[in-house]
Structure 1
Amino acid sequence: MSQESAFKDFLSNRFVRAILLSGLFLQLGIWIRNFAVLLFVMEQTNEDPFAVSLISVAEYAPIFIFSIIGGTFADRWRPKRTMVWCDILSSISVFAVLLTLVVGTWQVVFFAMLISSILSQFSQPSGMKLFKVHVPEAQLQMGMSIYQTMFALFMIIGPVIGTIIYGNFGITISIAITGVMFLLSAFALMFLPADKVVEASREKTTVIQELVQGFKYVVSNRFLTILGANFFVAGLAIGLIQPLGIFIVTQQLHMDKEFLQWFMAVNGVAMIIGGGIALAVSKKISPIRMLAAGMIINALMISIIGFSNILWLSIAAQFFCGLMMPAIQISINTMILTNAEEAFVGRVNGIMTPLFMGAMVIMMGLAGVLKQLFGLTISYQISAIFMLLGVLLVMPLVLNKPAKKQVKVDI
């Protein structure tokens, strides 16, 4: 089958059309909310760094607390129903925040971030589970490529849309639009195929028991265990350099701090192109090889950025970093779906995500200390070494190409 006919066949899938439309509405709502809240809080607090940092806490803290729990419930509940209700509840919470905002308590905007972030930890693994159910395995990598390309596109246009809407209409209308977008996402999800009715013949288990089963499943599956270790070191690498980009711009390249937005825009444009390339080669390159290649190139580019004080060279390296990022993300999501049984997809996703996010946040916290101790260049070389370590961890899977094996876990 040609790439074009495979793509048409993929888009003819009712599930794909509904999930992409839902994702479009969600991304619009999320980016409008994120930038409206950011700009509003900066105005209300006179750019207080602590208040601004609380936005990130409200957005990322639920990932640690609720990701594993959400993944477990994604395996217990009907995934379509879970996703629809999560979007509806997110919309209700946003309108509740809007009502309180009108009364005059501006601090409630943090809850708009917090509540929808918590609910997303239940919705996201349910979406992965539905990908496993409704997309043929041969099309999973293509599906992840298209999905990732949409996210990359919004990394560029999202801040622009959010800033324009807040600048023209203010916080009240911005929050209202966010609520409407979440409702439209829920409406789009109504067109998903009905959830399969699971036979009630299984022995009843508690949430704790199923949570433990999820951990046992990952540990018993060699592929997933290695992938989890790769997740962790990749999080260390990305977390270390994420707060240091501003110093690359000001200290290494001797540009104004405002140039950072254009430096990051290069990354976003490259991610869109990289998503398209990943889509084109998804039928020819296995996910594990795509992951290894992406991390090797990223390690080299991170090293170059750390050394370079030449503008065009740093921009080129930043571009290739962005170009490879979709390959890394797409291959990881594809391998989780293809190497986890349907009954465990939610829990596997819920366990893997905190590994990456936890490592990333740890290194974000240490980034300033490491920069002071070793300098900017060495900090970037440490990040590159973590990336290469991630490649070494998955190399046995690249070389041995073991047959996919799904592990049964005793209940």
Structure 2
Amino acid sequence: MLDIIQRLHDQNIIISGVDQGNKSAKFSYLNRYGNIASFAIPTIVAPAEDKKSAVEGSTETNTIEKKLHLKITSKSLSTVNQERYVYVGHYARNKKGKEEPSYNPEEDTRKNMSASKFSNDLHLITTISGLAVMAAKENKEKIYIPYAGGLPVSEIKELGSEKALESVKGTHTVEFMDGPLEKKAVTLVIDSGKMYGEGAITDLSLNFDIENGELIETSLQERLSETYALGDLGAGTSEMIIFTEEGIDGNLSQSLDIEGTNPYIDRIREKVDNLEEFRALKELFDLDDSERAYQSREEFMSEVIEPSILEVIRGEREYPAFEVRLLKSKKTTDITDLVMEEIRKYANDHKKALTSAWNSAGVDELVLVGGGVLFGYPVFKEVQEKFMELQGQEWVILPDKVEEAPFFTSRGYLIANLIQITEKEEAVLESIN
């Protein structure tokens, strides 16, 4: 496979997988050496100026995706404005007019988080930006992308793969207005590909990895039976894909009628904003009541939640401890109790919905992937241990590297993409010979 990957790479064709997330979009691609590289961009977009300001120029970073002030030209964007100056991801989190997937607590359904990812400018801009970053990381000014991505199962069932793909097809131009690639431009050409139901292809990343251009089996291949339920726990939705001896059961596979992680994260952030310590600081500096301790979900997760959970996963501590720094002061405030209250609600809601769907499907095992695995890990771990005591076996099967769970969907799309492309390339070579 490596020779095919390198030949395509030299032709500016990048094999990749994109997971459009409601907290962040995840991108996995193959570099010229046939190894997987992955990165994430927070799903946040804000309107920007048509040129760099002196203030912006004072912030230095060598990480391309950390400073995205872009001009995007694309016919895939809504007809109102197909040429946009935008801040994207990390750089948009404190900008005026920022937009991120919203949650209305008055609408108690999983669908209100993101009514649709299809033809949604917020998701399209984040996706196009990430693909431009991918091209830049590989030192390409123009790339051709056989697109591999997905939508929630409910949307794929309604739209079909071909119509869903139309939302990203076309030629997109991205100019970097600031940051390490200031004044450079990238052209993205997407004229082929496939859209999957979220989670439908994740089994590939459970069973396989790619190293030096070759597919290698993971240890999960030996642990998985032929029938299992795959729970893909996302920020906006949670998907349940049922695998039988004949493959995916499209009838039993579903988007679970349950909230993703974002509403739980939002409630934690709201409680942090209402801490007496933070209110006292806002009063001291005459700050508006709308002032937030953390500017985005992604910032809060990466600075407060994920570090402690990763310590638990690595065995460095038995229980997580969560702390915040208000107004970025050196003093920390412990918020473990209020965080664990929401994590426990999330995990309890999901263990019930997941186990019920798994039991109803009549398959052997339950497998969990996605960013929600990290968020709920402290409680999922407790349930796993208790189930082992009661039944002498695991409640769920988790990936070999739990900390990489958020990228399993994008990696699954990538692996499916690689298999399809290499089969086509090999067929062409055989016909020539």
TM-score, structure 1 length as denominator? 0.31
Could you tell me the TM-score, scaled by structure 2's length? 0.30
| Structure number with higher relative contact order (C-alpha < 8 Å, ≥ 6 residues apart) | 1
Bigger helix share = 1
